[in-house]
Chain A
Amino acid sequence: MNALVNFGKIFKFNGGVHPPENKAQSTQRPIGQLTLPERLVLPLRQHVGNIPKVAVSVGDHVLKGQLLAEAEGMVSAAIHAPTSGTITAIADAVIPHPSGLPDHCITLAPDGQDTWIAHLPIDWRNTDRKALVASLRLSGIVGLGGATFPTQVKLRADGKSVVHTLVINAAECEPYITCDDMLMRERATDIVQGIAIAQHLLGATKVLIGIEDNKPEAIRAMQQAVTGTSMEVVVVPTLYPSGDARRLVHLLLGQEIPYNKRSTEVGIQVFNVATVLALHRYFNHGEPAISRIVSMTGNVAHPQNFEVLFGTPLAHLIHAAGGVKANTTHFIMGGPMMGFNLPDTNIPITKAANCIIAATPDLFAPPPPAMPCIRCVRCADACPVSLQPQELYWFAKSDNFEKARDYKLFDCIECGACSYVCPSDIPLVQYYRYAKSEIIAADKAKEAADLARERNEARIARIEREKLERAQKHAERAQGAKTEPKQETATPASTSAGADDAKKAAIAAAIERAKQQKLQNAQATDTDTSEQTKPAADDAKKAAIAAAIERAKAQKAAAQQAGETPKNVDSVSTKVQQKIAEIDARRQTVGPAPEPVAKVQGPPPVADDAKQAAIAAAIARAKAQKAAAEAAKSESPMKSDVDNQLKSQPKKD
């Protein structure tokens, strides 16, 4: 074995798998350069976080490195022109995403000049750290290991935790992928300069560079480059998924980052090796993120790594690798363990594209039909998170999501090690993805339902409160009205010169009740119409109305006891009282309590008022219906009175 491969102290995690590496194919040639493609398509969504704000328009001529879209909000990343040219479109286009759905993209037609915008290195050693991190918002740099998390967010001090250790992730554990390997072989010095910047920005005292032992040349190059620095290259055994950040931290430091914490909370920050190189390009050369190294491998004529401008169509890259060989069925982005199928070769290379594999049925045979789980627990033995995949599968399959959550489903990193070793060929990870999405959707729905319930409860409480206040007011007014009986004569009901005083009085009382109801409704909904405020302006009137309502209530209550219809006879002549008696007699024969208003062929103004009252009543009814059953239970007699009174109104109108 290579003398360089000397595992220092390594802290193994549970499980892991060692699939055939298939890395040699793409490391035979140096990193290649591509010619300029005819067009570059730059998706706005190339990173985790907010979509950046477009800063150019169609037809604009832009220079290489010019800002095309600026970071929006805390977590976002800018996008720059990878070369000089003209913006030809800002529209939806197919992007490399598992969904296969198109997304917003900026299309750039290169002018072939490749003219740089003015750019200068930043004197990072003599500049305030905060200012440096802030300036990274303009760099467009995101994690190039595949997570594409905006780098400035990872470098920003949160004020709580102090980072003492910087871990550089150069494990590159997935089969086929060799972009980091080649980068370290060819640009180790630049990488070390980038690490120095990251270390400076974080204030880390310790730097560990973790590389799997299947990259002896990269290890050698890096060891050479770190000579004279405090950085340390640590060789880890080749075991997928040692490149997972939490697994790598454990391997190097023996420390498990708690599931609910970020690594920075325990003083550790992890950067991919290509990301720190991007930092070097930005700070030492003033160049924003416009390209990355991509492994073009699998069933192509000349598998190779290329430095690819973001937005380059996949077809261009395939062409550079000598084109596909026979039997190629589709293309996979990422590795064979966690990658996904690309919809076609028009998709652009993005910041996340570390590897493209031309797939054939020979390389990636479709899995045989799944057999039942025999609980052999090979999956549990392989799980790097020490989960029990066979239990999670069982719960996910039976939609027992709560149990799945209890068994730490959300700690699953979807590395695929369980599926890789399953004798029954069960697509375990897909069950976990399904269960996770179902749980997330259910949580969102529950959140929305909780919010709706809270609001409804608040509404019901408000209605109750208003009802109480109303009742209180009525009581007070009734008290006031009884002490001033003379005011009653001022009401239109008693002074009206209509033909039938009793009828009029009844009508007026009903209308006033309706108006009162309308007014309350208006208050409840905060609407303010002059129609309602005018009659209400008069305090005397108000008192009269209240008194009338109180009377009606009292009469109704009395009638209920005595089996009589309510009478409003306080201030009417004996003649009128006789008339009322007559009417009552008639009513007795007709049946119980058809409402007086409904019977009246009133004069036009009254009819108008009645209409208004009807409208108000309709509103009131609608409101009453909306209110829950409990509201209906405690409905005030007055309200139901109005409702009953006016139920027949629309028919008569």
Chain B
Amino acid sequence: MIRSPYISDAPSVSTIMLKVLIALVPAIAVYVWVFGGGILVTLTLATITALGTEALMLKLRQRPIQPFLTDYSAVITAWLLALAIPPLTPWWLIVVGTAFAIIIAKQLYGGLGYNPFNPAMVGYAVLLISFPVLMTKWPAALQLAHTPLSFADQFHYIIFGKLPEGVLLDAVTSATPLDYLKTQLKLDHAMATIQSAPLFGTLGGKGSEYITIAYLLGGLYLWQQKIISWHLPVAFLGVLTAIASLFWMSDSAHFASPLLHLFSGASMLGAFFILTDPVSGPTTPRGKLYFAGGVAIITYLIRVYGGYPDGIAFAVIFMNICVPLIDAHTQPRVFGHEK
């Protein structure tokens, strides 16, 4: 029996996943600076839930627990979900979302390597449909808030559901830029007026635009480390820019600029961290371009014409369905074969 090759040189699955987590750290730091330490609480809750449910499911499925807990894939799901939902929400929201993502979207399909859908996005979609009010209550950036909440206040709210004496939830939350954009455009306000609101910064939302830049930097690190290829982010951001430019140039008063689309919502998080989930994504270079292009178009359509301010989660889940089809039709030419 031939056992060759006898040598190998590859980062382990754990190392790859760990690098993805590392790439998220700068964005988390900026997040804390912009919105306060509450995100650390939801991140921790998500991580514990993910590892707990993963271990439980592995045990029920009679699979070895240790190697799969230390592959860190569950932690990535947890972090992506925590970063995608509003940070100032009752503790059970992130717990329910994470548990659903791990148990239903990942483990019931066979665990690592077998989930056809991005688990974090499935968790997000479930929460958005089940708890729409909670999921749209984003805290205002600290610099915009009338009464900025301290970390202790945020912690208290998340765990016990109580705000400090005399503070109303509406006073500390606000619409997200994309949400605001949508409602204002419906009221037939012009883009120029809308964007003059204090909610907006130079690129996207005030404060949150820094987080998107941190995601971009983290993504470049992953690309430099050869964890991700350029295809998905470039195609996604490129197509999003192209389609947004097209609408914007045709009617700049009623369509947001491509810059706003790129630096608002989950564009950067999606481009570098969500679309790039290898398990549920396409494998061929050309397939990656189609996949990311499809996500960009659907995202734009949901943002502009759909019922939700952002649409990356639904776009990714929809394109996940198309992955086998995309892969089958984008097979590269094999050496020595005609196309």
Contact = CB atoms under 8 A, between A and B. Distances in A.
A508 interface: no
Contact of A411 (B13, B15, B16, B335): B335
A427 B3 contact: yes
B283 interface: yes
A372 B1 contact: no
A264 to B, nearest CB: 15
Contacts of B1: 98-99, 340
A338 B3 CA distance: 8
Interface residues of A, number: 58
A425 B8 CA distance: 8
A429 B67 contact: no
A648 interface: no
10 contacts: A259-B334, A338-B4, A371-B67, A374-B113, A391-B327, A411-B335, A420-B7, A420-B10, A425-B10, A430-B3
B281 interface: yes
Interface string A10-24: 000110010110000
B284 interface: yes
A359 B15 CA distance: 28
A246 B11 CA distance: 30
Contact of A338 (B5, B113, B284, B337): B5
A618 interface: no
B8 A369 contact: no
Interface stretch (A216-224, A378-386, A537-545): A378-386
A388 B283 contact: yes
A375 B113 contact: yes
A72 B299 CA distance: 69
Interface in A352-370: 359, 364, 367-369
A407 interface: yes
Interface of A: 13-14, 17, 19-20, 98-99, 175, 246, 250, 256-259, 332, 334, 336-341, 359, 364, 367-369, 371-378, 380, 384-388, 390-391, 407-408, 411, 416, 419-425, 427, 429-430, 433
Contact of A388 (B11, B331, B338): B331
A17 B2 contact: no
A257 B327 CA distance: 26
Contacts of A408: 334, 337
B12 interface: yes
A416 B337 contact: no
Interface string B301-339: 000000000000000000000000001000111111110
Given A375-B283, A377-B283, A416-B4, A19 B335 contact: no
Nearest to A341: B3
A339 B67 contact: no
A367 B8 contact: yes
A384 B11 CA distance: 20
Contacts of A430: 2-3
Contact of A17 (B9, B283, B336): B9
A22 to B, nearest CB: 9
A96 to B, nearest CB: 12
For the complex of A and B, list the 8 residue pairs with the smallest distance between their C-beta atoms, beginning with the closest.
Answer: A372-B113, A416-B5, A259-B336, A364-B6, A336-B6, A385-B335, A337-B5, A340-B2
Nearest to A412: B334
B16 A423 contact: yes
A420 B8 contact: yes
B3 A377 contact: no
B143 to A, nearest CB: 40
B274 to A, nearest CB: 15
Contacts of A411: 334-337
Contacts of B334: 259, 385-387, 408, 411
B71 interface: yes
Given A340-B2, A386-B333, A411-B336, A378 B283 contact: no
Contacts of B13: 371, 374, 423-424
A385 B112 CA distance: 28
A511 to B, nearest CB: 67
A371 B4 contact: no
Nearest to A413: B335
A631 B16 CA distance: 68
Contacts of A425: 8, 10, 12
B278 interface: yes
Given A377-B283, A391-B283, A246 B336 contact: yes
Contacts of A388: 283-284, 331-332
A251 to B, nearest CB: 12
Interface string B10-25: 1111011000000000
Given A337-B4, A423-B10, A423-B13, A390 B336 contact: no
A352 to B, nearest CB: 14
Interface of B: 1-13, 15-16, 67, 71, 73, 111-114, 278-279, 281, 283-284, 327, 331-338
A258 B335 CA distance: 8
B126 to A, nearest CB: 23
A340 B3 contact: yes
A47 B19 CA distance: 49
B224 to A, nearest CB: 16
A420 B337 contact: no
A13 B281 CA distance: 26
A13 B3 contact: no
Contacts of A367: 8
B207 to A, nearest CB: 34
A419 B7 CA distance: 9
Nearest to B334: A408
Contacts of A373: 113
Given A377-B278, A422-B10, 19 more contacts: A98-B2, A258-B338, A259-B337, A337-B6, A337-B7, A374-B112, A375-B278, A378-B10, A385-B335, A386-B332, A388-B331, A388-B332, A411-B335, A419-B8, A421-B8, A423-B10, A423-B13, A427-B3, A429-B2
B16 A376 contact: yes
Which of A372, A384, A388, A408 has the most B CB atoms < 10 Å from its CB?
Answer: A372
Given A378-B10, A423-B16, A433 B2 contact: yes
Nearest to A403: B328
B283 A420 contact: no
A340 B4 contact: yes
B335 A259 contact: yes
A336 B16 contact: no
B4 A429 contact: yes
A120 B111 CA distance: 70
Nearest to A385: B335
Nearest to B3: A341
B338 to A, nearest CB: 8
A71 B332 CA distance: 43
A338 B112 CA distance: 30
B114 to A, nearest CB: 7
Contacts of A246: 335-336
Contact of B331 (A384, A407, A416): A407
Contacts of B281: 375
B336 A257 contact: yes
A270 to B, nearest CB: 14
B332 A19 contact: no
A371 to B, nearest CB: 5
A369 B336 contact: no
A390 B278 CA distance: 12
Nearest to B12: A423
Contacts of B284: 380, 388
A175 B9 CA distance: 13
Given A259-B335, A386-B335, A364 B113 contact: no
Nearest to A433: B2
A390 B332 contact: no
Contacts of B12: 368, 371, 423, 425
B4 A339 contact: yes
B6 A359 contact: yes
B283 A371 contact: no
Contacts of A259: 334-337
Nearest to B333: A386
Interface hub of A246, A364, A423 (most chain B Cβ within 10 A): A423
